[in-house]
Structure 1
Amino acid sequence: MKVTDPLIDSGQVDLHAFDRALGDPTDPATPLSYARNAELDRDERFPADICRELDRWGLPRLYVPAEFGGALTRYDELVAALRAVARRDLTVAIGHGKTFLGGVCVWLAGSPEQARELGADIIAGEPVSWGLTERGHGSDLLAGETTATPEPGGFRVHGEKWLINNATRGTLLCLLVRTRPQGGPRGFSLLLADKRRLPADRWRPLPKVPTHGIRGADISGIALDDCPFPADALIGEQGAGLEIVLKALQLTRTACTALSLGAADQAVRLAEEFAARRELYGRRLIELPHVRRVLGEAYAALHAAEIVSVLAARSVHTLPQEMTVISAVAKSYVPTRVDELIAACGELLGARAFLTEVHEHGAFQKLERDHRVVGIFDGSTFVNQHVLINHFPVLARGHRQGTSDEEAVARAADLSAPLPPARLDRLSLLARGGCSLTQSLRTANRELRASAAVGEVPARVAELAEELTDSCDRLHGELALIPPASQDVPPEAFEAARRYEQCFAGAAALRMWLHNRAPGQDPLWLEAVLTYVLRSVRPPGRPTDGEVFDRLLDARAAGRPAAPPTSVVAS
């Protein structure tokens, strides 16, 4: 598809055309073909030509809020666009999408002038990076040693930021720096480093770090030696850096789920196409009962992850005060489930899951390597579950008191409902009312039972919803007994966090069904997702009937509707 005009600009966001322009990755003539991606991966080269094509089509405009000159008005559209790229190649999606992560702090706390100038740079194709981590400190941001000493007219910055995506390519870097010698929660600030304005002899790029996956990505760093920064490089107030970062992570963690969804799309496609062609024991592989079960369950896992991701992205608009919990759940749940899905699909592919020159140019082994890093981005699974654990008391209290914002949940789940503008000023580090989605599960369950009573929903689906609701109630009783802890968190707390994530996914699926169902529609995908999530919530030893996964795969093969609705491209 030849594109002469941007597909994404301030007046239009044509995601269907954007998806079509990306093309079929099995066609070597497309920009993101499996053949081209494999070549770049072997050579460990950054996909610069492909990124320039994405720039030409207007993707950077989706990284910039509309009020600052971009096209970002809905966060589910951003997720859909990144997913479309990631289903072709994760290295490209990660390398290009990093610019959104680099700009978020400015959208949250920068001056209007900073935001408009940065927006113009991004739309012009300038990469932006986010320099949080340092060598030896990992995700412990409070241990950061890069210092910014205030001086007349600005700051003197000294130190290194390391393992930073696009640190060398990025024209601009948003840096978290220590502005008080003693550090602490109010001891860090954010500076926007514009390499074009910094003296060349006071900073240098650190070498690219070889990586197992995303080999072509620019994972490197920057060293600054008493480098002068102008006063207008400060983002927000001095000392507010950590708070701004923690709020920004609520948006970036949500956006990162798009990378996992794209990887899952690709993994299931590769596995299903291989199983449909491969013959074994005189039959096609896809005709074997075990293979059908694995593929059907993979689709259920993909649907669960997709629902969590889409609802989280829409909640930015309707439930910003709860995004600290919602984003942590989404970032922990979606990459973990997709890692499991990729492993299951890899078993079906057998040796071809490991070969670099066979079956679509070794696309599967590349995506498996590439996706491993997604769970680490913007706080590892462990870090995000820790955020959730520290919210256990308010989650339990809110569930007990019933403080759910039912209208906001409905607007997030109803894909036909217009979304209000995102109120990023309402992001909070503490979801004081708990989580409206899980609190409203009993209401959703009542609605489903009413549908079952008049024959609109099979009794089996209503039974699954009832079981999920009861399990969620019992879990919140357990959460009330687990105290928050900054260190020495017991293993039982992390197990409770994993079960909470499954309850969240089940509640999201119920809401997605109730608010988007068509008359007479078969709730097959809902039954499959509920069965999938309940398997992890039920007591050990209780068997799960996986027959619904077989029916899910059969429905897809027959061309019957068997997937949850989404508001944007998910083909």
Structure 2
Amino acid sequence: MTATATSCFRPGAVDLPAFDRMLGDPSDPGSPLSYARGAELDRAEEFPDDMCRELDRLGLPGMYVPVEHGGALARYDELVAALRLVARRDLTVAIGHGKTFLGGVCVWLAGDPGQAAALGADIVAGRPVAWGLTERGHGSDLLASEVTAAETAGGYRVSGEKWLINNATRGTLACLLVRTRPEGGPRGFSLLLADKRRIPRDRYRHLPKVRTHGIRGADISGIGLDDCPVPSGALVGEPGGGIETVLRALQITRTACTALSLGAADQALRLAADFAGRRELYGRTLIRLPHVRRTLGEAHAALFSAEIVSVVAARALHTLPAEMSVLSAVAKSYVPTRVDKIIEACGELLGARAFLTGAHEHGAFQKLERDHRVVGIFDGSTFVNQHVLISHFQALVRGHRDGTADEDGIAAAADLSAPLPPARLDRLTLLARNGCGLTQNLRAAVRELRARAAAGRATPAVAELAEELAERCDRLHGELAKSPPASQYVQPEAFELARQYEMCVAGASAIRVWLHDRGSGRGDLWLEACLVYVLRALRPSSRTADDDVFDRLFDALSAGRPVAPPTTEGVR
């Protein structure tokens, strides 16, 4: 359907608060994305068609299409925020509907203008798009893909099966990675945008829906093509450019996927806090117990840390595209992992109600817990993304040593009130040759923070934590320098170094966002909590002397004080 007067998403006029209001309170059975309706569809393993139609009516498909191709997507941080608002209500809906964005990304990167405009019109009209990468026997090993496309006079003949594909059956179009050279190799694969309306119905078939533990209603299925003719106009980009285009596209989609985790964390914290505020134990409500307060305070610190990584990475698509191979891998590894831990902590507070399907908001928590498990696998698992980081170790060391940080690009990414330039997706590269500026210029950021502390505009505790982070970041780069070059036989120790590097990026991002948050009146409590959170994972042994910051953070949030980072404006 085309944009209507109810659309919240128009070029230059994205209204996230209105979108949030129109989606309503999920606790209200009458709201478009209610817990009650989500539970009903989950039990029936039925796709949420009515919910997706409502998102279409509100104009969300426009956010999957860049403005230059007829949509409303001008800022990737706004896309993350919009998907987060859906995911905090129902993760299955966010995954099923948002998959269309993933299906279109390769065309935005490499398609010709006519192809991109036509796809943009289809998406804005509400037609789903699938992304056909994986196959039954190969998983994430894209170079092993066996679906072939033999060139003919009028196009290609495609044969083979793509499997475990979201929207494979529902999708009107599917962007397929196909082998166009028998020997394969990095230049042996291409991309075809297959339009089911324009290929013979007897030459393709939908594979059965795969029953899943989570996202039960999603269309996780597949498509088989039997010597299927696909016209030459379906080619996306250059012949043989499929693998490179996919790897660049993943830098965008991995960043966008963090929205799913952030929404899941919002929902988990809401459910846990609501339950703890009403449940009585030992003569008082659960939320007044010290352990519960600290657990919820730490969970909020983890969420703040995760959303800062997510938003800075989304803005970096506009300001630091040459570093996105690192930043997208960090975001996709760090954010879902943090949220898994948040969900686990909230589940412990809910107790038995975390497992029941018919209690406390229609069993929303057990559905959420099941649904979120798949997010860490989307577009490269945590293991795959940490392997990307490991392959960058030497570039990270060189950049840290030589100081090649793009200060203007970092400032533009971290200043969340600043306008963003248009995203230059053509500048995405497979290797961040100069490393990551956020960690390179951490010392300079800490000096600025110390100066503010000396002037009474930051607390000494925060300055000391920031100094500790800079010291540990320097030591970590020394360890990275000793790590052997990456190969398919990476040692387990390298993954621990990658995990520590994620923590450094998270802490550095938080410091930079705080430094650029001008005149907000928020103070530095959220920054202190984020730094304590990341430093605990970097210290040789867990130190708990500063964990009281989580108590103070929870008390401030409970009192309604403006202590959340600016990343939450418009989406809380």
Q: Counterparts of 2:371 and 2:10 in 1: how far apart (Å)? A: 30
Q: Counterparts of 1:166 and 1:117 in 2: how far apart (Å)? A: 19
**Aligned equivalent of 1:437:** 438
Contact kept, 8 Å, 1:392 with 1:483, in 2: the verdict is: no
Contact kept, 8 Å, 1:315 with 1:412, in 2: the verdict is: yes
Q: For residues 329-408 of structure 1, what are the structure 2 equivalents within 5 Å?
A: 329-408=330-409
Q: 1:242 to 1:544 in 2, by over 3 A?
A: farther
Aligned to 1:163, the other structure's residue is in SS state strand
Kindly indicate whether residue 27 of structure 2 is the aligned counterpart of residue 26 of structure 1: yes
**Aligned equivalent of 1:178:** 179
Contact kept, 8 Å, 2:11 with 2:74, in 1: the verdict is: no
Aligned to 1:159, the other structure's residue is in SS state strand
Aligned to 2:211, the other structure's residue is in SS state coil
Deviation of the 1:433 alpha carbon? 0.5
**Aligned equivalent of 1:76:** 77
Q: For residues 133-532 of structure 1, what are the structure 2 equivalents within 5 Å?
A: 133-518=134-519, 521-532=522-533
4+ residue segments displaced more than 3 Å: 541-544
Kindly indicate whether residue 28 of structure 2 is the aligned counterpart of residue 35 of structure 1: no
Contact kept, 8 Å, 1:80 with 1:568, in 2: the verdict is: no
How many residues are treated as equivalent by the alignment?
Answer: 569
Deviation of the 1:540 alpha carbon? 2.5
Deviation of the 1:440 alpha carbon? 1.2
Contact kept, 8 Å, 1:163 with 1:220, in 2: the verdict is: yes
Aligned to 1:196, the other structure's residue is in SS state helix
**Aligned equivalent of 2:55:** 54
Q: Counterparts of 1:570 and 1:365 in 2: how far apart (Å)? A: 24
Q: Counterparts of 2:520 and 2:157 in 1: how far apart (Å)? A: 64
Q: Counterparts of 1:550 and 1:568 in 2: how far apart (Å)? A: 23
Deviation of the 1:4 alpha carbon? 5.2
- TM-score normalized by the length of structure 2: 0.98
| Structure 1: gaps (5+ residues) | none
Q: Counterparts of 2:65 and 2:469 in 1: how far apart (Å)? A: 39
Deviation of the 1:11 alpha carbon? 4.9
**Aligned equivalent of 1:17:** 18
> What per-residue deviation string (whole Å, max 9, x for no partner) do you get for residues 138-186 of structure 1?
1000010000011111111000000000000000000000001111100
Deviation of the 1:247 alpha carbon? 0.2
Aligned to 2:301, the other structure's residue is in SS state helix
Deviation of the 1:38 alpha carbon? 0.3
Q: Counterparts of 1:190 and 1:129 in 2: how far apart (Å)? A: 13
| Structure 2: gaps (5+ residues) | none
Percentage of pairs with the same residue: 75
Contact kept, 8 Å, 1:393 with 1:483, in 2: the verdict is: no
Q: Which amino acid aligns with 2:369?
A: E
- TM-score normalized by the length of structure 1: 0.98
Q: Counterparts of 1:345 and 1:198 in 2: how far apart (Å)? A: 48
Contact kept, 8 Å, 1:15 with 1:569, in 2: the verdict is: yes
Q: Counterparts of 2:406 and 2:15 in 1: how far apart (Å)? A: 32
Aligned residues: CA RMSD: 1.0
Q: Which amino acid aligns with 1:399?
A: H
Aligned to 1:221, the other structure's residue is in SS state strand
Aligned to 2:50, the other structure's residue is in SS state helix
> What per-residue deviation string (whole Å, max 9, x for no partner) do you get for residues 260-282 of structure 1?
00000000010011101100011
Q: Which amino acid aligns with 2:365?
A: F
Between 1:533-542 and 1:236-245, the stretch displaced more is 533-542
Contact kept, 8 Å, 1:441 with 1:469, in 2: the verdict is: yes
Contact kept, 8 Å, 2:161 with 2:223, in 1: the verdict is: yes
Aligned to 1:213, the other structure's residue is in SS state coil
Q: Which amino acid aligns with 1:441?
A: L
> What per-residue deviation string (whole Å, max 9, x for no partner) do you get for residues 378-398 of structure 1?
000000000000000000110
Deviation of the 1:541 alpha carbon? 4.8
